[in-house]
A and B are shown apart, each in its own frame.
Chain A
Amino acid sequence: MALSRSFVLGQHYPGTSVVHRSGALVKLVSTIALMIGVFVATKTVQYIPIAVFLALGIGVSRIPLRFFARGLKPILFLIVLTVVVQVFFTPGTPIWQFGFVRITREGLGLAGFILCRLVLLTLVSVLLTASTSPIELTDAVSDLLKPLSHIGLPSAEIALVMSIAMRFVPTILEETERIIRAQVSRGARIGEGSLIVRMKSFIPILIPLFVSSFRRADDLAVAMEARGFRVGSPRTRYHARHFRSFDAFILLGTAAALSGVVLWRLFL
C-alpha cells in the first residue's frame, strides 16, 4: 500500500472549477506557450505578465497552494543548487566579501532570475496536471499530434499506448507490493547486503512482475479485440469536447501574456 500511496501519480487534483472544466487541449497549448514565454524573457521583470496570468489561473482553479508547494518539492534540490552556484560564482561588482567567498550584485540578480524561471516552469506544469485528468491529457496529446499523422505518425496509437501505460501504473505498483510481500514471507531479504547480493535479490521480484505484465498485456489485447478494436481504424470518443467560453479566455490570456513578454523584451 505504502508504495502506491507515496507515489503521486500524474498529480491530478480533481475539482469542478472552470480551469478543471476547460478543454485539455487548450490548457496543454497554453502551458506550452507559457513555457516558451518563460524562456523568451531575459530579465526577471519580464516574467510579470506570465506570473500574473498564472496567479490568476491558480486562484480560479481553487486548488490549494499546498498542492503547488508539494509539486515544487522534487526540484527543491535543483533550485537550491543553481541559486547557490549563481550567487557565489558569478563575477561582477562585489557587495559582500569574506575571504575568497564573494557575493556580487550580478550574482544575486542572476540567481533571482533562475529561481523565478524554475518556479514558473514548475507551477505552470503543476497547474496543467493538477487540473487535467491523465486520460484527458493523453487525448489532448493525441489531438496535438494529429496533424503529424498525415506524414505517417500513428498519433492515435501513440496516445493509446500512453493512456494504457498510465492506467496500469497503479496496478503494477500494487502487483509489485504483492510479490514483495510473498517473497519476504519466503525469507527473501530485499536490498540488503553487497551490491551483487542486492541486485540478485531483485530477481525474485522482477521476473514474476514481467511474467504477470506480459500476461496482462495479452489479456488486454484479447479483451480489446473482442470489443472491436482494430489498429488503424478510426475511433470515436466517449466524452465529447465542447469549446467553452473559458477556453477562449485561456487562449486570449495566454496570447496576451506571451505578447507581453515579447514586447517587453523588444521595446523596454
Chain B
Amino acid sequence: MSIELKNVDYIYDSGEPFEYFALRGISLHIDDGAFVGVVGRTGSGKSTLVEHLNGLLFSTRGDVIVDSDIVRNERAVLAKTRRRVGIVFQYPEDQFFAETIFEEVAFGCRNYGFSKEQVEESVHKAMNTVGLDPERFLPLSPFQLSGGEQRRVAIASVIAMGQKYIVLDEPTAGLDSGSKLAVLTELESLRQTANVTVILVSHNMDEVAEFCKEVVVLDEGTVTFQGSTDAFFRDAELVERTGLELPESYRLARALKECGSTLAVNEGSTDRMLDSLRLCVSDLGGA
C-alpha cells in the first residue's frame, strides 16, 4: 500500500492558447509510514501536486494511484481517496467556522459518519496528539486562541479523521520557532505511534533536513530528485540549481570542509550540529 504517481501531467487551460504545464511527467512513489518532504521554489508545482493526492485536481495525463485505486472523478473513488488522504492546507485556521473547538475538530469525523462515541474519542485523541488539553480547549471558540494554538486545532481537525496519509502544506508558516518545532515533533510522533504517512510541503530546509527522511524535489513541474534527504543536501550544486538553500548545518559542514577543517559536524539538525561541534571543540581542548 502506497501512493504512486505515474507520468502525471497537469495542464491548466488545456487546449487554450494560454495552456500552461503545472506538472510534467511526474513519477514518484511514497511508502507507507514515510515522512516525506516536498520541496521546490515558489511556482514549482508543489501545491498542484498536493491537490492531486485527494482528487481535488485530476491529472491531464498519467495516473495517481492511492492504495492501488486510480484517483478518478467518480463519487465512489473520490470518497475512498479522501477517506485515505487528509490535507492540511496553508493557513488552515482560515477554515474555522464552528462555535467551539469540539465542533470544529468533529466536523470531518461527522462528515465521514463516525458514531457519537467515535467522534468523542477521535477528537480527544487528536487534541492530545497536537498537545492541547482537551478538557481546557474543547469548549472554547477557535477564534479566541493564539496563532500557534489555532494552527494546532486546524491540524487536529484533519488528523481526527484518522486518515492513513496526512499532507501538510507549509504547516509551520507564520509560527514562532517554539510552535514550529512542537508541531513537527507532534507529526513525527503521530507517524511513529499510528503509522501515519506524513507528506510535508515546506520552504524551510532546516525543518526538512531534521524531520524528513526522504525528499521529493520539484522544479518547473518536474521531479528533479527523489531519495534520501541527506543525499540531496550533500549535492550542493543540485540544491542550488533547483533554487533552494542548504540547511544551516549542511552549510556549516561544507564551509568547514572548504577551509580544510577536520571537524566533523552532524548535519541532521541544527541542534545535533551544535552538539557535535561542542564535542569536537572539547576534544581539541578548547573552551
Contact = CB atoms under 8 A, between A and B. Distances in A.
A146 interface: no
Contact of A187 (B89, B92, B97, B111): B111
A186 B94 contact: no
A212 B92 CA distance: 12
Given A181-B89, A186-B158, A187-B111, A212 B56 contact: no
Contacts of B112: 187
A195 interface: no
Contacts of A186: 95, 107-108, 111, 157-158, 161
A217 interface: no
A101 interface: no
A188 to B, nearest CB: 6
> How many A residues are at the interface, by size bracket?
20 to 34
Given A1-B12, A212-B94, A182 B161 contact: no
A204 B97 contact: yes
Nearest to B86: A185
Given A187-B82, A189-B111, A181 B96 contact: no
B158 A179 contact: no
Given A207-B97, A208-B94, A211-B143, A185 B54 contact: yes
Contact of A185 (B12, B13, B87, B96): B87
Contacts of A1: 12
B96 A187 contact: no
A238 B86 CA distance: 48
Interface in A172-226: 175, 178-179, 181-189, 203-208, 211-212
Interface in B48-98: 51, 54, 56, 82-83, 86-87, 89, 92, 94-97
Interface in B148-205: 157-158, 161
Contacts of B83: 187
Interface of B: 12-13, 51, 54, 56, 82-83, 86-87, 89, 92, 94-97, 107-108, 111-112, 143, 157-158, 161
26 contacts: A178-B94, A179-B94, A179-B95, A181-B51, A181-B56, A182-B92, A184-B56, A185-B82, A185-B87, A185-B158, A186-B95, A186-B111, A187-B108, A187-B161, A188-B107, A188-B111, A204-B95, A204-B97, A204-B107, A206-B97, A207-B96, A208-B95, A208-B96, A211-B94, A211-B96, A211-B143
